[in-house]
């Protein structure tokens, strides 16, 4: 079938919104009508050539939610009409990580930039017959997609799908970084550098975990205001203030228990590290363009300060466990979803959505492919 999709062709070019030929689902796969898909910075990194993918053209988009329309053979436990969130790392169910319940570490994870389906082949072609890939084995910037059941988490049907799309990436990435990676405890102090789509969710995750000092740092004034609404107790304009001085002023010269680097690690990791207390945690959630090969932290300082620097993807917990849990927390009023959405766009306006993200106008833009 022909499916309107937003396609990456070459680094530096805007996404091209065009008809793509989508094949029927094969074994273990299903057809999903995409009702909402979030605009995450990761896709922007791909569009800029900062994160390399193995093929082009490729349909980007990995923060999607929708409704199952058809099943291929061998799909288990998913029915037509089910509402689903797409997981940007599949859970094969059989590798050592999945068997431990840690699907965020699934052995298939390194293949999400390849463009192919789980079985290694492609389901999409452009008008000239060329094979077209799907980012994260999802390709959610489209009206419909074919994904493997390993990439699917079934959710309750009464949750609005624009809100459901948020729990596909930014919400678990941020909240999970606070809860599962740093393991923030009641009374802890936290610094979040970059309070966009990931960072704002670290703020709400830190609040949920009982942190009593939550310092948000950003260069965009509007994002600092949003961070206050999500639970930040202090804000720092990192465009003008010295981050380390500002954090020490709030923490009696000690530094924070946990710092989160949610934007531009080459520039922000060292100040975040130095704003962290001895023996504290520095958690990096933001991506760095390919080509940077070292951490900007003096090794001697790392040893003598006894701090831990750690990476976190998908909030360091299985999307299969986290997504239903986060939806339950939302229903209890413990986390916010609706307030994360700044603007909604039709698929044809997706490049405008990315321009808004990069200009700092959006916390989250959400594309509604059928609007």
Q: Which stretches of the chain bind ligand CXF, using CB under 6 A?
A: 40, 42, 62, 88, 112, 169, 313
The binder of 313, among ligand CXF, Zn ion, none, by C-beta within 5 to 8 A per type, is ligand CXF
The minimum distance between CB 88 and ligand CXF, in angstroms, equals: 5
The minimum distance between CB 24 and Zn ion, in angstroms, equals: 28
Residue nearest to Zn ion (CB): 40
Q: Which is nearer to ligand CXF, 25 or 139 (CB)?
A: 139
The minimum distance between CB 205 and ligand CXF, in angstroms, equals: 16
The minimum distance between CB 357 and ligand CXF, in angstroms, equals: 12
Q: Which is nearer to ligand CXF, 25 or 196 (CB)?
A: 196
The minimum distance between CB 74 and ligand CXF, in angstroms, equals: 27
The Cα–Cα gap between 202 and 298 comes to: 26
Q: Which is nearer to ligand CXF, 313 or 367 (CB)?
A: 313
Q: Which is nearer to ligand CXF, 88 or 97 (CB)?
A: 88
Residues in contact with Zn ion by CB under 5 A are: 40, 42, 169
Structure tokens at 162: 């624009």
Q: Which is nearer to Zn ion, 97 or 314 (CB)?
A: 314
Main-chain dihedrals φ then ψ at residue 177, nearest 5 degrees: -60, -40
Q: Which is nearer to ligand CXF, 142 or 215 (CB)?
A: 142
- Nearest CA to 200 out of 35, 36, 40, 368 is that of 40
CB atoms within 10 A of CB 43: 27
Q: What angle do CA 260, 265, 268 make, to 5 degrees?
A: 70
Q: Which is nearer to ligand CXF, 169 or 326 (CB)?
A: 169
The minimum distance between CB 193 and ligand CXF, in angstroms, equals: 17
The Cα–Cα gap between 288 and 294 comes to: 11
C-alpha gyration radius of the chain: 20
Q: Which is nearer to Zn ion, 140 or 216 (CB)?
A: 140
The minimum distance between CB 85 and Zn ion, in angstroms, equals: 13
Q: Which is nearer to Zn ion, 122 or 140 (CB)?
A: 140
The minimum distance between CB 44 and ligand CXF, in angstroms, equals: 10
221 alpha-carbon distance from chain centroid: 22
Q: Kindly report whether the peptide bond that precedes residue 57 is cis, defined as omega within 30 degrees of 0.
A: yes
The Cα–Cα gap between 345 and 265 comes to: 29
Residue nearest to ligand CXF (CB): 42
> Would you say 365 and 345 are in contact if contact means Cβ atoms under 8 Å apart?
yes
Main-chain dihedrals φ then ψ at residue 317, nearest 5 degrees: -155, 155
The minimum distance between CB 42 and ligand CXF, in angstroms, equals: 3
Total residues belonging to the chain: 371
């Amino acid at each position: 079938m022909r499916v309107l999709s937003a396609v990456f062709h070459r680094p530096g070019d805007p996404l091209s919104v065009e008809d793509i030929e989508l094949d029927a689902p094969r074994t273990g796969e299903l057809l999903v009508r995409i009702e909402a898909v979030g605009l995450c910075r990761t896709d922007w990194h791909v569009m800029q050539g900062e994160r390399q993918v193995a093929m082009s053209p490729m349909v980007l988009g990995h923060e999607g939610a929708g409704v199952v329309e058809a099943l291929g053979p061998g799909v288990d436990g998913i029915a037509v009409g089910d509402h689903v969130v797409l997981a940007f790392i599949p859970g094969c169910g059989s590798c050592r990580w999945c068997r431990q319940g840690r699907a965020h570490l699934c052995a298939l994870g390194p293949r999400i930039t390849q463009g192919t389906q789980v079985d290694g082949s492609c389901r999409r072609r452009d008008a000239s017959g060329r094979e077209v890939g799907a980012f994260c084995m999802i390709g959610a910037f489209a009206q419909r997609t074919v994904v493997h059941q390993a990439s699917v988490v079934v959710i309750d049907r009464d949750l609005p799908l624009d809100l459901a799309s948020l729990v596909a990436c930014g919400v678990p990435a941020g909240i999970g970084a606070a809860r599962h990676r740093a393991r923030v405890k009641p009374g802890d102090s936290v610094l979040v550098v970059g309070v966009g789509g990931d960072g704002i969710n670290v703020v709400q995750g830190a609040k949920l975990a009982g942190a009593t000092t939550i310092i948000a740092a950003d260069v965009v004034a509007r994002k600092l205001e949003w961070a206050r609404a999500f639970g930040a107790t202090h804000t720092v304009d990192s465009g003008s203030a010295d981050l380390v001085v500002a954090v020490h002023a709030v923490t009696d010269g000690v530094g924070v228990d946990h710092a989160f680097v949610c934007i531009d690690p080459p520039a922000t990791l060292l100040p975040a590290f130095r704003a962290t207390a001895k023996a504290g945690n520095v958690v990096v959630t933001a991506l760095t363009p390919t080509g940077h090969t070292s951490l900007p932290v003096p090794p001697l300082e790392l040893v003598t300060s006894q701090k831990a620097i750690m990476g976190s993807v998908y909030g360091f917990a299985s999307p299969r466990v986290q997504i239903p849990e986060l939806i339950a927390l939302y229903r209890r009023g413990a986390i916010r979803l609706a307030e994360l959405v700044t603007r909604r766009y039709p698929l044809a306006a997706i490049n405008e959505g990315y321009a808004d993200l990069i200009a700092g106008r959006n916390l989250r833009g959400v594309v509604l492919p059928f609007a």
